[in-house]
Amino acid sequence: MERVLELVFSLQQEGLQLRHLDIGGGLGIRYGDETPPEPDAYVKALLNTLSARRCNLPLFIEPGRAIVGNAGVLLTRVEYLKSAQSHQFAVVDAAMNDLLRPALYGAHHRVIEVSPADVEPTIYDVVGPICETADFLSRSQRLSISPGDLLVVQSVGAYGSAMSSNYNSRPRSAEVIVDGDKFHVVRRHETFSQLYQNESTLPD
């Protein structure tokens, strides 16, 4: 904000008057041990700076991730468990096409059991079934699970759906809004016929 205000005052000296300030996003959420400010503390700090610099321009903020990031989860089922080179893997039916952030730039998403299995907890890398070494959803998760169990990948509301794809010919997942004891399907699971409907056909 201090740097933005320096620009504002420089523009004023040149006779250019702004009508508002848009400082964009930048307000993060907790994926792991991060400690971003709460929205009220963030806004208070901004307003204090504006007041101290005697700037009364309207302020626009775009805190999208802070609003929706932790509101979304990815529900996935454990297909099977395997060991390789002292690593334990939980292979699930979701994949990097459903949640690209971990594979693309190593983003961390916590994974929890819907209902922990009656087994000793083990440290797993949670991975998808796509034939890519980057196809993982989360690493080093302590889980009590068995094949067939459901897992919740947390904090996917900000970029999960927007970055999803049909990579490896995988239809996109359904999207469901949960409201108390009710749910609403807002996007149906894609079918294979939808996936191929734009493909060209050979002439007779």
For residues 172-200, give the mean pLDDT.
Answer: 91
pLDDT score recorded for residue 25: 83
- Can you tell me the distance from the alpha carbon of 116 to that of 32, in angstroms, rounded to the nearest whole number? 20
- Can you tell me the distance from the alpha carbon of 125 to that of 140, in angstroms, rounded to the nearest whole number? 5
pLDDT at 21 over 90: yes
Q: pLDDT-based confidence at 28, cuts 50/70/90?
A: confident
Q: Which two three-digit tokens encode residue 33?
A: 């041990």
Q: pLDDT-based confidence at 186, cuts 50/70/90?
A: very high
- Tell me which H or E stretch contains 185: strand 182-187
Report the candidate in 15, 35, 16 with the shortest Cα–Cα distance to residue 27.
35
Report the candidate in 188, 104, 116, 110 with the shortest Cα–Cα distance to residue 146.
116
pLDDT tens readout for residues 91-133: 999 999 999 999 999 999 999 999 999 999 999 999 999 999 9
Burial letters 7-29, b for 16+ CB under 10 A, else e: ebeeeeeeeeeeeebeeeeebeb
How many other CB atoms are found less than 10 A from the CB of residue 43? 15
pLDDT tens readout for residues 147-173: 999 999 999 998 899 999 999 999 999
Q: Where in the chain is the domain with CATH 2.40.37.10?
A: 72-165
pLDDT score recorded for residue 66: 86
pLDDT at 202 over 80: no
Secondary-structure class of domain 72-165 per CATH: mainly beta
Compute the mean pLDDT over every residue in the chain, rounded to the nearest whole number.
92
pLDDT tens readout for residues 60-91: 998 888 889 999 999 999 999 999 988 999 99
Active site residues: 131
pLDDT score recorded for residue 31: 84
Contacts of 183 (CB under 8 A, 6+ apart): 176, 177
pLDDT at 204 over 80: no
Q: Which residue in the block uniquely carries the two structure tokens 């922990």?
A: 116
Could you give the count of Cα atoms lying within 13 Å of 133 in the half-sphere of its Cβ? 0
Contacts of 20 (CB under 8 A, 6+ apart): 57, 58, 59, 60
